[in-house]
Amino acid sequence: MAEALNISIVTVSDTRTAENDTSGDYLAEALQAVGHRLVSRSIVIDDRYQLRAELSQLIAAPEVQVVLMTGGTGFTGRDSTPEAVAPLFDTQIQGFGELFRQLSYEEIGTSTLQSRALGGLANNTLIFCIPGSTGACKTAWTGILSSQLDSTHRPCNFAELLLRGHH
């Protein structure tokens, strides 16, 4: 990894705390293990307006280049991450959710249909919304994000886009 990125983590949950946020812990450890910087970490209840408020602040912060959100991507009544986040995107990264579900299918079969993982760009900030299980975070990190946030990954990666300031 040639260039370190500034990454924020947002855990979407009505029940997780700093003491039991294993998914946020995993992402924080994984991104720092390869040299990225953890800028901030927060836990926000599953409320679309509070999620938008938190994410909007991160998108507007010039030091934040990537936001990893975990949780709230299912189909229960409280799961509102896609509805909260998608309107904030300048551009949606369709392939992130598609590839995540393909990788997840190999692990959990057709249950991956209930994953509404998504990604996008807003104000030159990458946002990835990952299901809340620690297993899903590992799948997203090892199968997609670790290489796409590595500025040396070829033939292309998202880190280069951020570092060049392209949208």
pLDDT tens profile 41-86: 999 999 999 999 999 999 999 999 999 999 989 888 888 999 999 9
Residues with Cβ within 8 Å of 82's Cβ and at least 6 positions away in sequence, in order, are: 73, 116, 118, 129
Q: Which of 15, 22, 34 is nearest to 7 (CA)?
A: 34
CATH topology for 6-164 is Molybdenum Cofactor Biosythetic Enzyme; Chain A (3.40.980)
pLDDT at 162 over 90: no
pTM of the model: 0.95
What pLDDT sits at residue 138?
97
Banded pLDDT at 165 (limits 50, 70, 90)? low
pLDDT at 22 over 70: yes
DSSP string, 4-63: --EEEEEEE-SS--TTT-HHHHHHHHHHHHTT-EEEEEEEE-S-HHHHHHHHHHHHH-TT
